[in-house]
Structure 1
Amino acid sequence: MSRITFIMKLARQINPLKVERALPLYSNYSTMLQSTIHRQSEEDEVEFPKNRTVNNSTSQIQIKEVGTVPQLQIGQNVPRKDKISFLVSTLMDIQDNKEAVYSTLDAWVAWERNFPIGALKNVLLALEKEKQWHRIIQVIKWMLSKGQGTTRGTYGQLIEALDMDHRVEEANEVWNKKLAFDLHSVPWKLCKLMISVYYRNNMLEDLVKLFKGLEAFDRKPPEKSIVQKVADAYELLGLPEEKERVLEKYKDLFVESSNGKHKKISHTRSPKKIKPSQKG
């Protein structure tokens, strides 16, 4: 598909969405988008270049001069931050439909020479500030379908968005398929995220299984909040011996310095009540 066709596709999509509030950010972009709409009726007339002869088995057809197709430079003269703002605004206004979102993203990157992974990360951060979890999921899955952003950080962001969108089963599936096989090196930041996901959704058996897997690689938790969640899970599962074992093994994490002296913090508090999983 040509660049012109992609641009026209984007113009057709955003026109009914009434996102004029985003277009004034860059007048050149607005002008070019409007011009593509007016050219839609002329697209079929620009099928061949100037004075080209087309041969077939029966005759030769001389194509009349149709003029020069203007070179649209959308994306090249627009500041990156404005294109990001435009996409965020469009994604927040567009209908909640996978095909519509994917088509918008396809059109947005159509004029990019290289896949704009950096710009899309900023788009995701902007959507996260607006708590647009469902849209974040769609954008990340679109990126992954293009073979882009296949990093631990991206999968962690997807897991968090799925959890916030009440799709914990899917979040667990992503964890098991993309990250859990590598427990000896997956960052503790992601392990902590998944432990928290299990804890919030009352998936206590999965929580202790994950922690035991980390212990099998002799990986020490970096902070006491992780150990406390594990201890709470053991208690709620009716395994007080395991709870005490974990608290004893990592008791140094519960020692804080106060005025130059070490102070031991009690680890016998009542476990936090965990709300049952909500289905989205």
Structure 2
Amino acid sequence: MKKAGKNEHHLWEKRDSAGSGQKALNLLRIVIADTQMTKWMLSKGQVATMGTYGTFLLAFDMENRVDEAGSLWNLVLHTHNRSILKRLFSRMISLFDHHSMPNKIIETWRSCVKLDENTVRKVVRAFQELGQEDK
């Protein structure tokens, strides 16, 4: 068994800025591996929590994977139709807003409960973009 010595490498230990790109790449690899593992666990019925769903929706948004976000959102709607957090509705509306999808914003808004002011502004803007200010 090998003991950790002074030369042990820590991901965020900052000794020089030259390796910062490599540190970011290492972190990205860790996050992708973790995301893949979580997706697998989710497919097996594990870690199916609102927090996990929210994290996946955010990750899909950041990676421009709108179709996968939509599929997950449909799963959430059909599985937890009476107990979805307002935060998840806001997350989906933000995702659709980020990707300029006003029809999807309104569709999501029609399914949800009372939203925060920032999310309501996104819904109003979606109606305006569609020329439906009267609604």
The TM-score, its normalising length taken from structure 2, stands at 0.71
Does residue 204 of structure 1 match 2:102?
Answer: yes
For 1:240 and 1:190, the matched residues in 2 are separated by 25
For 1:205 and 1:134, the matched residues in 2 are separated by 31
For 2:33 and 2:99, the matched residues in 1 are separated by 22
For 1:131 and 1:230, the matched residues in 2 are separated by 36
**Structure 1 moving runs of 4+ over 2 Å:** 130-137, 142-148, 181-185
For 1:141 and 1:207, the matched residues in 2 are separated by 25
Counterpart residue number, 2:86 = 188
For 2:70 and 2:35, the matched residues in 1 are separated by 14
Q: Which moved more, 1:141-150 or 1:153-162?
A: 141-150
Counterpart residue number, 2:129 = 236
CA displacement, residues 78-115 of structure 1 (integer Å, 9 cap, x when unaligned): xxxxxxxxxxxxxx64xxxxxxxxxxxxxxxxxxxxxx
Structure of larger gyration radius: 1
DSSP 3-state at the match of 2:47: coil
Counterpart residue number, 2:65 = 167
For 1:163 and 1:134, the matched residues in 2 are separated by 15
Counterpart residue number, 2:111 = 213
The TM-score, its normalising length taken from structure 1, stands at 0.36
Matches within 5 A, 1:17-32: 21=9
Q: Tell me if structure 2 keeps the 8 A contact 1:183–1:213.
A: no
Matches within 5 A, 1:1-280: 21=9, 93=26, 134-177=32-75, 179-181=76-78, 182-214=80-112, 219-221=113-115, 223-242=116-135
Give aligned pairs, total.
113
For 2:120 and 2:60, the matched residues in 1 are separated by 24
Call closer, same or farther: CA 1:133–1:196 in 2, change over 3 Å.
farther
Larger strand proportion, structure 1 or 2? 1
State the 1:131 CA deviation. Answer: 9.8
Larger helix proportion, structure 1 or 2? 2
CA displacement, residues 155-175 of structure 1 (integer Å, 9 cap, x when unaligned): 221111111111111111111
Counterpart residue number, 1:62 = none
Gaps of 5+ in 2: 1-7, 11-24
DSSP 3-state at the match of 1:195: helix
Structure possessing the higher relative contact order (Cα contacts under 8 Å, 6 or more residues apart): 2
State the 1:142 CA deviation. Answer: 2.9
Provide the alpha-carbon RMSD of the alignment. 2.5
Q: Tell me if structure 1 keeps the 8 A contact 2:96–2:104.
A: yes
Call closer, same or farther: CA 1:184–1:146 in 2, change over 3 Å.
closer
For 1:176 and 1:227, the matched residues in 2 are separated by 21
For 1:227 and 1:213, the matched residues in 2 are separated by 13
Gaps of 5+ in 1: 1-19, 23-91, 94-126, 243-280
For 2:71 and 2:50, the matched residues in 1 are separated by 14
Q: Tell me if structure 2 keeps the 8 A contact 1:137–1:162.
A: no
Call closer, same or farther: CA 1:149–1:230 in 2, change over 3 Å.
same
Q: Tell me if structure 2 keeps the 8 A contact 1:134–1:165.
A: no
State the 1:143 CA deviation. Answer: 2.5
